[in-house]
Amino acid sequence: MKVLKLLILMGAATLIPTSLLAQQTDPVTRLQSVLPADVAARVIPLVQDAMSHDLPGDAVANVALQGVAMGRSGDQVRAAAEAMVSELRAAHDALSEGGRAPTTDETQAGALAMQQGVDGATVSALAKSAPSGRSLAVPLAVMGALVDRGLPAADALQAVQERLQNRSSDQQIAELPAGAGQMLAQGMKPAEVGTALAGTRAGFTVPASGVSVPAGGAPSGVTANGGVAGKRPTGVGRGSHGKAGGGI
């Protein structure tokens, strides 16, 4: 639940992983108890297939449930679920290509980041450069949030990489989008904010904005990764291109 709190602090309700919102119930059981029988028959095989390939079934189930709540037809609900499976698979593959054996939370966060404009190569680059044993769920979510604010993907990647290398905690990394938002509100262009976050040593004030960049090292007594080793989000929501949403 520590990750859930961090994402709430980021002001990113769409970043809360469905596995945290609905982890107490098996996704197939949820669908059987809520969906009309004909719709459940179309969606449940997709959820089961996703889970058999180590993809988060909760994310797929959540998309289906949202579609039904919005009055979508059975065909539309199945299409949205199929799209979610494809996005999760793309994120899983990108993380794997970076040498990662992704957790379901990392897969969900990677899919969200890609929905927000981060390409697979950038996701792979983060996975390849990350310290061994460090969860990438929050870093991936933050990278996506920065790109969603208009920052260049290369700058968002570098900003997150630097803080991982400096052993910043998840909470410190989660502060980056808020800092970027302050700079944008003060009139800086997205590319300028990206350069500031990527090129300024953590813990120093960016001269052009007066905004302090979150420090790179974890506070005394707090271990890297927010005190949780190797575990951490997205549920996956949908991007701004008209797709149905999931739960991070």
Q: How many Å separate Cα 171 from the centre of its chain?
A: 14
pLDDT tier at 56 (50, 70, 90 boundaries)? very high
206: enclosing H helix or E strand:
strand 205-206
pLDDT of residue 12: 46
Mean pLDDT of the chain: 78
Separation of alpha carbons 111 and 175, rounded Å: 21
pLDDT of residue 121: 97
Whether pTM exceeds 0.85: no
129-163 residues labelled b (16+ CB within 10 A) or e (exposed)? ebeeebbbbbbbbbbbbbbbbebbbebbbbbbbbb
Q: Which segment of 37-41, 150-154, 213-217 scores lowest on mean pLDDT? A: 213-217
Torsion, Cα 165 187 152 150, to 10 degrees, reads: 110
The answer, yes or no, to whether residue 4 has pLDDT greater than 70, is no
Separation of alpha carbons 68 and 170, rounded Å: 34
Q: Which segment of 4-18, 107-121, 168-182, 207-221 scores lowest on mean pLDDT? A: 207-221
